[in-house]
Amino acid sequence: MTIHREGYQSIAIGTIIFFILNFIFFYFFSASLPILSGTLFFVTLGLLLFLISFFRIPNRTLTLDENAVVAPADGKVVVIEEVIDPEYFKEKRLQVSIFMSPANVHVNRNPISGEIVYNQYHQGKYLVAWHPKSSTENERHSVVIKKGTIEILVKQIAGALAKRIVNYLQVGQQVNQTAEMGFIKFGSRVDLLLPVGTKINVDLNQTVQGGVTVIATL
């Protein structure tokens, strides 16, 4: 397991706060309030370890298959339905949405290889990520990957806790399946918009792993 570069600053700040708080309580209150000092130490240590785990990149065998759409994120499948895409396609698409809790790995990966033909950031609200309107009203970053005649839209969506979406892609860039496309901090959602009729290989409420689980077959 390694730590994602997006976490270096946050972990450094968290570590500094951890040491400052515990030094102050140990120096001034450990004799008079030993239970409180001990409780503070274990609570803040737990929070620091959780922060570190949030930015983890676990060692995995990633799925490389030109006929597969792999999961762009860890989490739980919360939507499988046909929708009208108002942003890019302007027609029906098959939407698969993955909800990412704060405990999930938050690296986002390319579901297929291909060329980036669309890349757009949208300001918006911070509704809870499982809210039906979060796909169109929340802060989000959309990219479209084109492979031959197939185009897939991947939408990184901020949730109630997520305040920063990072996207590394640019229009015209050639990307590889399972390579990093971005990162979302602290709970969020990723939508896939697939051609209608695409064979879906997952079920509602199924837990998936980014870069590993095959969401659909092209």
DSSP H or E run through 46: helix 34-54
Rounded CA-CA distance 138/112 in Å is 25
What CA–CA distance (Å, rounded) separates 36 from 134?
Answer: 41
- d(C-alpha 163, C-alpha 217), whole Å: 33
Q: Which of the four pLDDT bands, split at 50, 70 and 90, describes residue 195?
A: very high
The tokens for 200 are: 């879906």
Decide: residue 195, CB within 10 A, 0-12 exposed, 13-18 middle, 19+ buried. middle
pLDDT band at 213 (very low <50, low <70, confident <90, very high): very high
What mean pLDDT do residues 115-144 have?
Answer: 78
Domain spans in the chain, listed from the N-terminal domain onward: 2-57, 68-217
Q: Is 88 helix (H, G, I), strand (E, B) or coil?
A: coil
- Reported as type and span, the H/E element at residue 136 is helix 134-137
| Domain boundaries 68-217, CATH class | mainly beta
Q: What is the pLDDT of residue 202?
A: 97
Catalytic residues: 188
Residue 131 pLDDT: 57
Matching residue, tokens 């492979």: 147
Mean pLDDT of 70-94: 96
Distance CA 156, CA 202 (A): 20
What DSSP line would sit under 58-76, residue for residue?
Answer: --------TTEEE-SSSEE
Buried b or exposed e, range 16-48, using 16+ CB within 10 angstroms:
eebeeebeebeeeeeeeeeeebeebbeebeeeb
* Pairwise CA distance, residues 183 & 153, whole Å: 16
